[in-house]
């Protein structure tokens, strides 16, 4: 491992490598256990569930499978047992068989030994978290706590899998320095396993509360939980992690003192006697889980090889069946043409009801139906519903409906799981308000589901005979994609609301002359960004995934290009939310004495990389006596590079000139940097807004306007100041003061 901190390019590269993981590997002993079960004619679901809920990789895979199948879990009590009850055995079998076995032969045996210890630690945290949830007065389901504890270190498991040499070096350094692995990870990778775990939780669609436990279990959970009650799950995981380490069960890769803080126990209303009782029974609980996983097998690798050979022979017999299913899937793909046609026709800036009208018209045309009525249930709780009616002449009309008072607008039977039902049995309230007549005997009703949430429904006259099962199979994928697009449109409206709140927040900042770094304002920014992420990320991930699937099966180059644009735009919106989150709560600086000239040289190199320019016209003048400043050099380099990029953008076709000067200020307590350009300059109003998030003087769509905002924020965090002076046509001077001690 290198001894010097990594540059700013390492963290994105690490994230890219980790995000390529579709799943984690499992130990050979675990593979031997579940393969033995699958060889049985009627495998025991209870025994299979025991293995899956004891293994982090398999648990994460099952939660992801639930999302892929459009099935929902109880928001407050997501558990593996509940998920397995909803999934057919053939899907569970296929998912389990798709998970790779961890390398454990030859030189990899040492890695496998640590992986076994890390898995044991995860089991200990899971069992401990479940016991804590059962005795605390905080209303957290014990099965939820168990799953969050089991998966809390998936970021470490992913690092071990994708970057084994780097991860091994991190663990060795943490051990030699008696340090927490998070600090070593931050130093060498630019981020830690909690952030990587959060990224994987989003990619694999793990339940939101489990993702909070993964992300925040090394944070100040007491302070966070006061503002975000949902984050109490992280408190339980944090206390469970500390307790498991105190009991020396397994190995977490952290070697700092495991101090089970009394503040956490007090916040969870757990007494010392209760915590001691949990410690006493924990070793036996973990031993039983390890036995279920086969960790006590004398030669697990050899057993695994024997079972793989037997399993391969049985799987060959299934080949013909799978081939037949594949032919059926190819037939169903023809119905994706409807979804593709709809995707390529939408205007991203359209209102949800306009998209709904587009969908209803194409629905009638593609499926050759009679009258169609599509109604939307958003915003939830409203007394009125927006709807579109398409008559026999394909004329569309937008109307407002009264929401039913006694029953839900979308019947409960289809509110979370896709099905086709007879409309007359459920929505007479709708027919009573329409001016167009439906043939009630022929009218069907299907839900519009996004992430297993009903956002509306479509009633339509089915005028040709077809088997209901075959029809459901064909309509399911099409409605899921269309629903995701509509949900994105609703999310965009929500994003506008958050933008308005942000504008009000910035206005408050201006009127009260508060610093942007104040805890209350930054807390509001973080809460708002978190709300935006919650509103946007789920529909965006669905849209991106569906667009990618359609593109892979599309032969028309123009359609592939447009589908790729949809995927890229969805990713861009997610990046915007991440930018705001990073601005609201950036990493705390780690100040060290750093030479000013070194900082400026590195900032100029980073600027060249960002501008993709081989040579920049930047002149640096370091005055006599100017040597070191006490700052986080990586953060300050990034901030200065952002400022230099802004300076370069003030020139129309050139890469400068820019002049950078330095001088000592206030009897040598500060170093003053002045970054001077002779570009287009700014008026008074533009200067006033230049450091606000998302403000840009560029035309809409060109820049997100976070460069100066990030720079201002970072300089403040490093106990410095940043001021801007400019006049139109006369260039701009940015003055930065950085502390020397």
H, E, C per residue of 535-592: HHHHHHHHHHHHHHHHHHCCCCHHHHHHHHHHHHHHHHHHHHHHHHHHHHCCCCCCCE
Residue 586 lies in a domain: no
Query: Based on the number of CB atoms within 10 Å of its own CB, is 628 exposed (0-12), middle (13-18) or buried (19 or more)?
Result: middle
Q: Domain of 352: which CATH number?
A: 3.30.450
Q: Which domain holds residue 385?
A: 348-464
Is residue 159 domain-shared with residue 30, that is, in the same domain? yes
3-state secondary structure 647-707: HHHCCCCCCCCEEEEEEEECCCCEEEEEEEECCCCCCHHHHHHCCCCCCCCCCCCCCCCCH
Tell me the DSSP string of 106-158. GGGHHHHHHHHHHHHHHHHHHHHHHHHHHHSSS---HHHHHHHHHTTTHHHHH
Is residue 159 domain-shared with residue 64, that is, in the same domain? yes
**Residue 582: what pLDDT?**
64
Is residue 154 domain-shared with residue 35, that is, in the same domain? yes
Joined together, the tokens standing for residue 91 give 């899907």
What angle in degrees, to the nearest 10, is found between the helix axes of 519-552 and 468-512? 150
Is residue 691 domain-shared with residue 629, that is, in the same domain? yes
**Residue 197: what pLDDT?**
92
How many angstroms from the chain centroid is the CA of residue 136?
A: 29
- Rounded CA-CA distance 447/487 in Å is 13
Residue 554 lies in a domain: no
Is residue 296 domain-shared with residue 433, that is, in the same domain? no
Last residue of a domain, one of 430, 447, 464: 464
**Residue 526: what pLDDT?**
47
Is residue 232 domain-shared with residue 352, that is, in the same domain? no
Return the DSSP state at 101.
B
Joined together, the tokens standing for residue 152 give 């809390």
* Phi-psi group of 613: left, alpha or beta (phi > 0 → left; psi -120 to 50 → alpha; rest → beta): beta
Provide the 3-class DSSP secondary structure of residue 663.
Answer: strand
**Residue 304: what pLDDT?**
65
Q: Domain of 251: which CATH number?
A: 1.10.3210.10
Residues of the chain with pLDDT under 70: 1-7, 41, 74-76, 105-108, 260-261, 299-336, 466-470, 497-540, 542, 574-585, 692-706
- Rounded CA-CA distance 356/376 in Å is 8
Query: Based on the number of CB atoms within 10 Å of its own CB, is 274 exposed (0-12), middle (13-18) or buried (19 or more)?
Result: middle
- Rounded CA-CA distance 625/361 in Å is 74
Last residue of a domain, one of 302, 331, 358: 302
How many angstroms from the chain centroid is the CA of residue 80?
A: 20
- Rounded CA-CA distance 642/659 in Å is 15
Residue 494 lies in a domain: no
Residue 1 lies in a domain: no
Is residue 294 domain-shared with residue 359, that is, in the same domain? no
Residue 114 lies in a domain: yes
Is residue 730 domain-shared with residue 596, that is, in the same domain? yes
- Rounded CA-CA distance 706/696 in Å is 8
Q: How many residues are given for the chain?
A: 741
Other Cβ atoms closer than 10 A to 95? 18
End-to-end CA distance of the chain: 29
Is residue 237 domain-shared with residue 367, that is, in the same domain? no
pTM value > 0.75: no
Residue 572 lies in a domain: no
| Residue 721 main-chain phi, psi, to 5 deg | -130, 155
Is residue 26 domain-shared with residue 173, that is, in the same domain? yes
Q: Domain of 634: which CATH number?
A: 3.30.565.10
**Residue 151: what pLDDT?**
94
**Residue 674: what pLDDT?**
95
Instruction: State the total domains in the chain.
Output: 3
pLDDT one-digit tens code per residue, 608-635: 888 888 788 889 999 988 899 999 999 9
pLDDT one-digit tens code per residue, 264-284: 888 888 888 999 999 999 999
**Residue 113: what pLDDT?**
87
| Residue 341 main-chain phi, psi, to 5 deg | -60, -45
Among 647, 722, 645, residue whose Cα is nearest residue 678: 647
Is residue 354 domain-shared with residue 218, that is, in the same domain? no
Last residue of a domain, one of 410, 433, 464: 464
Residues ≥6 apart with Cβ < 8 Å to 383? 402, 403
Residue 178 lies in a domain: yes
Residue 570 lies in a domain: no
Is residue 178 domain-shared with residue 273, that is, in the same domain? yes
How many angstroms from the chain centroid is the CA of residue 355?
A: 26
């Amino acid at each position: 491992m290198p001894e010097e901190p990594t540059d700013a390019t390492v963290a994105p590269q690490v994230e890219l490598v980790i995000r390529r993981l579709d799943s984690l590997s499992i130990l050979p002993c675990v593979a031997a256990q579940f393969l033995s079960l699958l060889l049985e004619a009627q495998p025991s679901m209870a025994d299979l569930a025991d293995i899956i809920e004891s293994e982090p990789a398999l648990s994460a895979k099952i939660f992801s499978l639930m999302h892929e199948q459009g099935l929902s879990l109880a928001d407050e009590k997501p558990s593996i047992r509940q998920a397995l009850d909803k999934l057919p055995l053939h899907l569970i079998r296929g998912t389990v068989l798709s998970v790779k076995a961890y390398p454990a032969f030859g030189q990899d045996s040492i890695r496998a030994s640590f992986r076994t210890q890390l898995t044991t630690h995860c089991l200990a945290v899971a069992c401990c978290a479940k016991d804590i949830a059962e005795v605390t007065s905080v209303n957290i389901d014990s099965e939820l706590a168990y799953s969050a504890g089991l998966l809390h270190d998936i970021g470490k498991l992913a690092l071990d899998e994708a970057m084994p040499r780097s991860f091994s070096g991190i663990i060795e350094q943490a051990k030699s320095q008696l340090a927490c692995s998070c600090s070593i990870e931050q130093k060498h990778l630019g981020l830690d396993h909690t952030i990587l775990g959060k990224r994987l939780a989003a990619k694999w669609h793990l339940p939101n509360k489990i993702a909070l436990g993964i992300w925040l279990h090394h944070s100040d959970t007491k302070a966070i939980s006061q503002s975000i009650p949902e984050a109490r799950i992280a408190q339980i995981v944090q206390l469970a992690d500390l307790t498991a380490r105190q009991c020396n069960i397994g190995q977490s890769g952290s070697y700092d003192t495991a101090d089970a803080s009394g503040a956490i126990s007090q916040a969870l209303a757990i007494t010392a006697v209760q915590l001691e009782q949990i410690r006493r029974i924990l070793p036996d609980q973990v031993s039983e889980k390890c036995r279920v996983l086969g960790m006590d097998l004398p030669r697990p690798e050899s057993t695994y090889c024997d079972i793989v050979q037997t399993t391969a022979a049985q799987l060959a017999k299934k080949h013909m069946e799978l081939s037949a299913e594949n032919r059926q899937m190819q037939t169903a793909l023809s119905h994706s043409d409807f979804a593709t046609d709809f995707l390529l026709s939408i205007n991203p800036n359209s209102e949800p009801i306009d998209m709904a009208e587009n969908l209803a018209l194409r629905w009638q045309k593609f499926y050759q139906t009679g009258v169609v009525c599509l109604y939307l249930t958003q915003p939830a709780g409203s007394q009125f519903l927006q709807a579109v009616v398409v008559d026999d002449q394909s004329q569309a009309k937008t109307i407002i409906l009264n929401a039913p008072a006694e029953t839900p607008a979308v019947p409960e039977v289809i509110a979370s799981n896709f099905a086709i039902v007879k409309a007359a049995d459920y929505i007479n309230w709708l027919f009573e308000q329409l001016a167009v007549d439906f043939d009630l005997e022929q009218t069907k009703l299907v839900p519009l589901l996004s992430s297993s949430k009903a956002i509306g429904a479509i009633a339509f006259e089915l005028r040709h005979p077809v088997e209901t099962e075959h029809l459901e199979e064909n309509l399911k994928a099409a409605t899921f994609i269309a629903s995701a697009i509509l949900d994105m449109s609703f999310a965009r409206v929500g994003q506008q609301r958050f933008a308005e709140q942000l504008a009000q927040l910035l206005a408050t900042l201006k009127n009260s002359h508060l610093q942007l770094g104040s805890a209350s304002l930054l807390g509001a920014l973080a809460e708002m960004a978190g709300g935006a992420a919650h509103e946007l990320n789920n529909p965006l991930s669905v849209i991106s995934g569906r667009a990618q699937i359609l593109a892979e099966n599309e032969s028309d180059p123009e359609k592939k290009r447009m589908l790729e644009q949809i995927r890229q735009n969805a990713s861009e919106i997610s990046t915007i939310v991440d930018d705001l989150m990073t601005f609201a709560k950036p990493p705390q600086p780690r100040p060290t004495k750093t030479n000013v000239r070194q900082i400026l040289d590195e900032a100029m190199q980073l600027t060249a990389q960002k501008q993709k320019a081989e040579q920049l016209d930047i002149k640096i003048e370091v005055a006599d006596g100017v040597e070191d400043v006490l700052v986080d050099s990586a953060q300050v380099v990034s901030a200065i590079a952002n400022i230099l990029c802004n300076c370069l953008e003030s020139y129309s076709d050139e890469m400068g000139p820019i002049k950078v000067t330095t001088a000592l200020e206030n009897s040598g307590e500060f170093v003053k940097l002045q970054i001077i350009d002779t570009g287009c300059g700014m008026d008074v109003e533009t200067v006033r807004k230049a450091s606000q998030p998302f403000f840009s003087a560029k035309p809409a769509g060109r820049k997100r306007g976070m460069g100066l905002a990030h720079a201002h924020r970072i300089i403040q965090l490093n106990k410095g100041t940043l001021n801007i002076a400019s006049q139109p046509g006369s260039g701009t001077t940015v003055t930065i003061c950085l502390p020397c001690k």
